[in-house]
Amino acid sequence: MPRSQPPLISPSILSADFSALGQAVKDIDIAGADMIHIDVMDGHYVPNLTIGPMVVKALRPHTTKPFDVHLMISPVDTLIPAFIEAGADIISIHPDSGPHLHRSLQSIKSAGKKAGLVLNPGTPVDVVDPVIDLLDLILVMSVNPGFGGQSFIESQVDKIRRLRKKIDATGRDIILEVDGGVNPKTAIDCIEAGATALVAGSAVFNGSGSYAENIAAIRDANRSTTKVA
């Protein structure tokens, strides 16, 4: 069933013009983004290399919207403090990016930031169980991490549904986010399955309309799934 509230939209600057990232962040802020999604890749945990804490720090003055930072790095623990200092508001990590997941999440929470856990397409849902009390966000990767512009993996919709049940059972307001191949069409399945936040890169920055129109098209997928009684 669709959620009563529209999903949060977190455009991924991985698909933006890297020669003008500051302006891109300003533009998507004005266009209606709820968060700014920042993909950090180390060329080790994933086969790509993107940005580091200095770039995040440089982007911070360009918006007051939350920085939704996805760390695709290993080992992750040594760099968490640097991204906190750079201005990250939400830091999401992978369960296999360090030796002690619980400790890593604790370090994020102890700094007053929101902690997220990322599930790759091959990561089982039950990995969240031992640490769900520490989580503010669960991110379902609907593509394999490392590159933008990939196609949505349909099997991840069931994972979203199963995580929705786990979150609801806690009674806590944990954001359920989806990243990978999200566009106005795939957003419908994500929202129906229980997602409350959607990351979109190509669909926002390379879509057919303006940034505002592209963001609205994804967010309004929620309305298209709502049936009038």
Question: Strand, helix or coil at 13?
Answer: helix
> Which residue reads 């307001």 in tokens?
173
Task: Flag whether 19 is marked binding.
Answer: no
| 39 belongs to the catalytic site | yes
94 is in an annotated binding site: no
d(CA 7, CA 148) in angstroms, rounded, equals 21
Query: Looking at 29, 39, 42, 136, which residue is catalytic?
Result: 39
Tell me: is residue 98 an annotated ligand-binding position: no
- Is 116 annotated to bind a ligand? Reply is no
32 Cβ contact list (under 8 Å, min separation 6): 9, 212, 215, 216, 219
The annotation status of 202 as a binding-site residue, yes or no, is yes
d(CA 229, CA 225): 12
Instruction: Flag whether 122 is marked binding.
Output: no
Of 68, 136, 179, 189, which is the active-site residue?
179
Spell out the residues 6+ positions from residue 9 whose beta carbon is closer than 8 angstroms to its own: 32, 33, 34, 35, 197, 198, 200, 204, 215, 218, 219
* Interatomic CA distance for residues 35 and 25, integer angstroms: 10
Active site includes 126?
A: no
62 marked ligand binding residue: no
146 marked ligand binding residue: yes
12 is in an annotated binding site: yes
- Write out the catalytic residue numbers: 39, 179
Which parts are annotated binding residues? 12, 37, 39, 70, 146-149, 179-181, 201-202
Which parts are annotated binding residues for substrate? 12, 70, 146-149, 179-181, 201-202
Which parts are annotated binding residues for a divalent metal cation? 37, 39, 70, 179
